[in-house]
Amino acid sequence: MAESSSVAPRRLHEQVLNALVERIVAGEFSPGAALPSEAEMCGTYGVSRSSVREALRVLAEKGLIEVRHGLGTRVNPPERWDFLDATVLNARRRVGGMVSVIGDLMEALRIVECEVAALAAQRGDETHQLLMETALDGMRATREDPDAFADAAASFHNALLAATRNYVLIRMSEPIRELLHYTLSTAGTRDTFDRALRDHEEIYRAVVAGDAEAARTAMSAHLAATSREIASPLNTPPVGVT
């Protein structure tokens, strides 16, 4: 089937891309397996070779495939995927592949965030406190709106990071931030948002008081509760929590 002139080529390649990502994430194409030929994919998806090639180019950028000269296009093992990519995350959520990602997220947060809170208590100033207050106001006002609540929570954590004055740490934490936002915006409920707001208020009070240990403890308690809430619907034990 030829491409319709009424459909933008970019949209067509994205349709192929999304379909291939889901098939790879679902395990239909195992690591090391070859993808179908360009001609086969043109027939399967009803698009031109240019759309297939663009989809394959983006797949390679996301780390899902590798084009080997003389060997064709092969699927990469999951550890090489850009698992923070929105397309990959959405596919993993649809096919039930989020358990390991969320476990890794909570482990990384437990390693990073507790010390971020402690450093913020030691180094933050009134500017950072004002940013946290604004974020808390946003969280209070958006408990019925998961996306907006996640935005406000991300703003709070960004203020904590800024207060550390450690720019390497800020850059290292950006990918974690993306996945945390995704989790909050897709898996949260009003009860979890109410609990998260109370936790953030406790963290804020410790930071304002300049109490690094209290900030570290408050963040640890927040992450433990978050891990339990996320693990329950995913049917996986929370990381680092007994």
Helix-helix angle 99-123:146-164, to 10 degrees: 50
Residue 60 has pLDDT above 80, yes or no: yes
Q: What is the rounded distance in angstroms from the CA atom of residue 141 to the CA atom of residue 94?
A: 30
Please report the pLDDT score of residue 157 as a whole number.
Answer: 94
Q: Let me know if residue 159 belongs to a domain.
A: yes
pLDDT: is 209 or 104 the higher one? 209
Q: What's the pTM?
A: 0.71
Q: Does residue 121 share a domain with residue 203? A: yes
Q: Let me know if residue 241 belongs to a domain.
A: no
Q: Does residue 163 share a domain with residue 44? A: no
Please report the pLDDT score of residue 10 as a whole number.
Answer: 54
Q: Does residue 147 share a domain with residue 220? A: yes
Q: Does residue 117 share a domain with residue 55? A: no
Q: Does residue 102 share a domain with residue 58? A: no
User: For 45, how many CA atoms within 13 A lie in the half-sphere containing its CB?
Assistant: 26
Q: Let me know if residue 139 belongs to a domain.
A: yes
106 contacts 177 by C-beta, under 8 angstroms: no
Q: Does residue 114 share a domain with residue 15? A: no
Q: Let me know if residue 92 belongs to a domain.
A: no
Residue 159 has pLDDT above 60, yes or no: yes
Phi-psi region of 162 (alpha: psi -120 to 50; beta: other; left: phi over 0): alpha
Kindly report the CATH number assigned to the domain that includes residue 70. 1.10.10.10
Please report the pLDDT score of residue 8 as a whole number.
Answer: 44
Q: Does residue 146 share a domain with residue 67? A: no
Please report the pLDDT score of residue 230 as a whole number.
Answer: 75
One-letter amino acid at 167 equals: Y
Structurally, how many domains does the chain consist of?
Answer: 2
Q: Let me know if residue 103 belongs to a domain.
A: yes
Please report the pLDDT score of residue 106 as a whole number.
Answer: 84
Q: Does residue 211 share a domain with residue 157? A: yes
Q: Does residue 64 share a domain with residue 32? A: yes
Domain that holds residue 42: 9-80
Residue 100 CB coordination number (10 Å) = 13
Write out pLDDT tens, residues 137-147. Answer: 999 999 999 88
Q: Does residue 135 share a domain with residue 40? A: no
Residue 205 has pLDDT above 90, yes or no: yes
Please report the pLDDT score of residue 55 as a whole number.
Answer: 94
Q: Does residue 183 share a domain with residue 129? A: yes
Q: Does residue 218 share a domain with residue 104? A: yes
